[in-house]
Amino acid sequence: EQIDFCSNVEASFSKGGLQGIDRALQEKLAQYTENITEADSVLTLKLKSIILDLIHDRDILSQLQREGVTSADTWHWQKQLRFYLVDKKCVVRMCDAQNSYTYEYQGNDPKLVHTPLTDKCFLTLTQALHLGYGGNPYGPAGTGKTESVKALGQALARQVLVFNCDEGIDFKSMGRIFTGLVKCGAWGCFDEFNRLEPEVLSAVSQQIQTIQGALKEKRPKLNLMGTEIDVGPNSGIFVTLNPAGKGYGGRSELPD
């Protein structure tokens, strides 16, 4: 569905109008919405996911038409999460970043509703991954930081593992987690990262720097905790933070 949408939009730029795609989207949306009440629970979840994607596509079209976009090279199109079929393989592009779709399927999870803020978050995280870094969504509890990372992983078909940090975790435990993530090419999202003790934060930051250096330089192996391990090129390290103080107890300021 997403591959067809992107190819149709880019084809329509040369034909001079997006109205035909807009009409087709509205018809699909009406059809799926009509059928959702008759479906069983599994099919209902699938239809809801498709409907959310179609609504987001409709919003993208509205923005492109409002801005008068007539070329695939313009910023308003380049900043979208776009899906293409290249040499029979799915690739996902967003601005300067290109990622392989890795076909990691872990069930029919509910989709995150797209908002302008999630689009900005996706843009920031994909550019960071392109440069070999990770991401650090920051903000109050319950604002969708972890869910945004999981939603991007779902869009790229990555395995995303969420770890809740607390004062009882030491740097050796974190090192073992990092080793597993890097070897299998998964994403790790470390929730409430600044709940770790300050001395652990300092040691863990060195481990993250080592991993990101290997990803940035596309090295096949790295040395972590005295052990040489293979580097999965699709690995990613993400952390989420609540503000230190401001009613959130047990949080530390990140060390320089």
Q: What is the CATH number of domain 116-239?
A: 3.40.50.300
N-to-C CA span, the chain:
45
| pLDDT tops 90 at residue 225 | no
Average pLDDT over residues 214-222: 92
Q: Considering the entire predicted model, what is its pTM?
A: 0.89
Average pLDDT over residues 147-156: 94
Confidence of residue 45 (pLDDT cuts 50, 70, 90): confident
Q: What are the pLDDT digits (tens) for 116-140?
A: 999 999 999 999 999 999 999 988 8
In terms of C-beta distances under 8 Å and separation of at least 24 residues, what long-range contacts does 86-89 make, across chains too?
none
Confidence of residue 20 (pLDDT cuts 50, 70, 90): confident
CB atoms within 10 A of CB 166: 12
| pLDDT tops 70 at residue 247 | no
In terms of C-beta distances under 8 Å and separation of at least 24 residues, what long-range contacts does 49-53 make, across chains too?
49/108, 49/110, 49/111, 50/1, 52/111, 52/113, 52/114, 53/1, 53/2, 53/111
Domain residue ranges in the chain: 2-80, 116-239
Give residue 110's pLDDT: 83
Q: 């005295």: which residue's tokens?
A: 226
Average pLDDT, the chain: 88
Q: What are the pLDDT digits (tens) for 100-110?
A: 999 988 788 88
Confidence of residue 253 (pLDDT cuts 50, 70, 90): low
